[in-house]
A and B are shown apart, each in its own frame.
Chain A
């Protein structure tokens, strides 16, 4: 149980275009979802925390107008990278937690590799 999926698993786009990444909890309702980015050989950096039905909370230094997060339902959150540029190329990972789970327990998706040409 507690499976999180992401789509697409990889995407290549041209500079200036927008890319949407979906994160779904397949067998549980995720009240909170987290979005991370990970550069090669570096750790996960939290970008934002989203709770279903409310605005996402962004970490310092993360542009909310560039990285649009929507958590419209208890099983789906989306991250849209607007006007993507090569420096946005990274591995984006979402995770989800649910009430009743162990404190601090979160389940990660498999990640989406974004390459901006």
Chain B
């Protein structure tokens, strides 16, 4: 079983929509969860970082961790065409990172 699973999409939404991106993970001991955004032919950039469970908000972005169901989510409000990218969830454990396969998001004007 992979450490983290992510639906690859693609996901296409109209501008202004609320986007929900999700991942599941296998090990209940995982504590550190990240979301990265990757534009085509570029390296990933860190969007959000959460520890343990709960929500974290940064502008239009909200990261949520549900440890009981081993489920992590990223919500994007008022999505913009500039949000079009691939979003990767990641887990950090003992100096090692595990990445989801990434969900490609397209926000149509």
**A binding-site residues for B, Cβ under 8 Å:** 4, 6, 32, 34, 41-44, 46, 49, 91, 93, 95, 102-111, 113
Decide if A105 touches B46 in the complex (CB within 8 Å): yes
**A111 with B96, Cβ < 8 A, contacts A43-B88, A105-B46 known:** no
Residue from B8, B45, B96, B104 in contact with A49 in the complex, judged by beta carbons closer than 8 Å? B96
Q: Is the CB of A103 within 8 A of B32?
A: yes
Chain B residues closer than 8 Å to A49, beta-carbon distance:
95-96
Nearest CB in chain B: distance from A12 CB, A: 15
Contacts of B102 in A (CB 8 A): 42-43
Are the C-beta atoms of B97 and A106 separated by less than 8 Å?
yes
Known: A32-B95, A108-B43. 14 other contacts (CB 8 A): A4-B43, A41-B8, A43-B102, A46-B97, A49-B96, A93-B44, A103-B32, A103-B92, A104-B49, A104-B92, A105-B34, A108-B45, A109-B43, A113-B41
Question: Is chain A's binding surface mostly helix, strand, loop or mixed?
Answer: strand
Q: How far is the CB of A18 from chain B (nearest CB, A)?
A: 23
CA distance A91 to B42 in the complex (A): 10
Q: A108-B45, A111-B41 are in contact. Are A43 and B99 (CB under 8 A)?
A: yes
- Chain A residues with CB below 8 A from B8, complex form: 41
Question: Chain B residues in contact with chain A, CB under 8 A?
Answer: 6, 8, 32, 34, 36, 41-46, 49, 51, 88, 92, 95-97, 99-102, 104
User: How far, in angstroms, from A95 to B88 measured CA to CA in the complex?
Assistant: 15
B99:A44 contact, CB within 8 angstroms: yes
8 contacts across the A-B interface (CB closer than 8 A): A41-B8, A41-B104, A42-B102, A43-B100, A49-B96, A102-B49, A104-B92, A106-B46
A residues less than 8 Å from B6 (CB atoms):
43
Asked if residues B43 and A95 are in contact (CB atoms below 8 Å), the reply is: yes
Residue in chain A with minimal CB distance to B89: A43
Closest to A94 in B: B43
Provided the pairs A102-B49, A108-B44, A111-B42 are in contact, do residues A44 and B32 lie with their beta carbons within 8 angstroms? no
Residue of A nearest to B101 (CB): A43
List the A residue with the shortest CB-CB distance to B36: A108
Measured between C-beta atoms, what is the minimum distance from A39 to chain B in Å?
10
